[in-house]
Chains A and B, each alone.
Chain A
């Protein structure tokens, strides 16, 4: 049981490049989340999904897009990366019916945009 798996673990991009971060969970969870963590800023919610085929904006959605084509996967896309998007990105998931404050996190993707 791998839990929440994020790929890649590290990535360096040049300004303007695009990339997709993949989050996969094997716990059959309905809810999935993308957060970013910056020094001194704590975790900030980018987008989330309450089920397959659904997405919703969090508090910092600009510059990102997401897709949830399969229940187990949640993709985070950066269409034109900017240095301000240098951060550590965490994916999380939770099961319907469990407290929304209990989320299971992946190990993170460290992204640098030059």
Chain B
């Protein structure tokens, strides 16, 4: 799995877009970028993933740079319920079953 670097914490005003960065400069060609979040006292929740194209679903958008060395998760209109720890994971779809989370970014949505 490629090493990822995320800021330890971020704040965002309610209703604004939350942009969470992730650096993964050692990413290899067959590795995807996955994002999960963990709301306090709950299990991790899958958000979105991508390989090289930008992706959007009902929860978020994922922007991956052209060189794939970094990405940004965008929550377009953040609500208080989006307060959570967000994890960026970079790994291929092969290999072992173990899903490993780093330290993530603690996102706080400010009313």
Contact = CB atoms under 8 A, between A and B. Distances in A.
Interface of A: 4, 31, 33, 35, 42-43, 45, 48, 56, 58-59, 90, 92, 99-108
Contact of B43 (A59, A92, A102): A92
B102 interface: yes
Contacts of B49: 99, 101-102
A43 B100 contact: yes
Interface in B51-99: 89, 91, 93, 97-99
Given A59-B98, A90-B44, A102-B46, 15 more contacts: A33-B97, A35-B99, A42-B103, A45-B97, A56-B97, A92-B43, A92-B44, A101-B32, A101-B99, A102-B49, A103-B46, A104-B46, A107-B42, A108-B42, A108-B43
Which 3 A-B residue pairings sit nearest by Cβ, starting from the closest? Answer: A105-B43, A45-B98, A42-B101
Could you tell me the dominant secondary structure of chain B's interface residues? loop
Contacts of A48: 97
Interface residues of B, number: 19
17 contacts: A4-B43, A31-B97, A35-B99, A42-B102, A43-B99, A45-B97, A45-B99, A58-B97, A58-B98, A90-B43, A99-B32, A101-B89, A101-B91, A102-B46, A102-B49, A106-B43, A107-B42
